[in-house]
Amino acid sequence: MSEMRSGFGCESCGSPAVRLPAALTDDAMIQCDRCGCTLMAWGAFKRRVEAQETADLRRPAERRASGTPHDARSA
């Protein structure tokens, strides 16, 4: 079982936990660890995680560039 930090949840039950297939090929399907719902192919999931990590890394730099604290923008 693996858990996402943020930005992901099963559409059926909201759980961030996934059950990985035994063979990690890009077309192997992953499932929700809580309800067993088929979520997406492993390859698509990897790309989604990579995109989220890239976005997470950019956010602090964007806040520094704008000079606006994160809390002030979300208020």
The Cα–Cα gap between 23 and 61 comes to 37
CATH architecture of 2-60: Single Sheet (2.20)
pTM above 0.85, yes or no: no
Q: Provide the percentage of residues in the chain whose pLDDT is more than 70.
A: 71
pLDDT bracket for residue 63 (50, 70, 90):
low
The Cα–Cα gap between 44 and 46 comes to 5
pLDDT at 29 exceeding the cut of 90 = yes
The Cα–Cα gap between 68 and 55 comes to 18
